[in-house]
Amino acid sequence: MLEERQFCTFLVADLFLGIPVSAVQEVIRYHEMTRVPLADRTITGLINLRGQIVTAVDLRQRLGLEDRAPESLPMNVVIRTDDGAVSLLVDEIGDVLEVEERDFEPPLETLGGKVRELVRGVFKLETGLLLILDEEKAANVSSTQSEAMELVRETI
Partner 1 sequence: MTTLIEGCDEIVKDFLVESYENLDQLDQDLVALEQDPGNREILASVFRTIHTIKGTCGFLDFGKLEKVAHVGENLLSKLRDGELELDANRTSALLTMIDAIRSMLSHIEDDGSEGDADYGNLIDLLTNLQQTGSGPEAAGTAPGRAPDRDVEDVAQDAKRSAETAQAGGDGTLGSAETTTTTAQAADTPQDSAKQTKDTVQAADTPQDSAKKTMATAQAAETSGTVLSPAPSPTASSLTESTIRVDVDHLDRLMNLVGELVLARNQILQFTSKEEDAAFVATSQHLNMITTELQEGVMKTRMQPIGNVWNKLPRVVRDLARSCGKDVKIIMEGKETELDKTIIEAIRDPLTHLVRNSVDHGIEIPEERQALGKAHEGTLLLRAFHEGGQVNIEITDDGGGISTEVLKKKALERSIITTEQAARMSERELLNLIFAPGFSTAKKVTKVSGRGVGMDVVRTNIEKIGGSIDLQSKEGSGTTIRIKIPLTLAIIPALIVTDSGDRFAIPQVNLLELVRLEAEQIETSIEDINGSPVYRLRGNLLPLVFLNKELKMQAAESSAAGSSAVSIVVLQADEQQFGLIVDEINDTEEIVVKPLGTQIKDLDTFAGATIMGDGKIALILDVMGLAQRAGIIGELSSHGIGEHKEQASTGSDQRRTLLVFSIGDDRRMAIPLDLVARLEEFPISSVEVAGDREVVQYRGEIMPLVRLSRFFNTNPDETEQLQVVVYSHMSRSIGFVVEEIIDIVEERITVTIDPDEQMGLDGAAVVQEKVTDLLDVDAVVGAAAPEALEPAATAEAEA
Interface residues with partner 1 (CB under 8 A)?
Answer: 32, 34-40, 43, 46-48, 50-55, 57, 83-84, 86, 139-144
106 vs 84: CA distance, rounded Å: 28
Closest CB to partner 1 among residues 5, 137: 137
Three-class secondary structure of residue 106 per DSSP: coil
Order of strands, sheet of 75-81, starting from the edge strand that comes earlier in the sequence: 24-28, 75-81, 84-90, 52-58, 43-49
84 vs 136: CA distance, rounded Å: 11
State the minimum distance, in angstroms, from the CB of residue 132 to partner 1: 22
Closest CB to partner 1 among residues 25, 140: 140
In Å, how far are 4, 79, 94, 133, 141 from 62, measured between CA atoms? 23, 15, 20, 11, 9
Closest CB to partner 1 among residues 12, 54: 54
State the minimum distance, in angstroms, from the CB of residue 41 to partner 1: 11
Closest CB to partner 1 among residues 7, 60: 60
State the minimum distance, in angstroms, from the CB of residue 90 to partner 1: 17
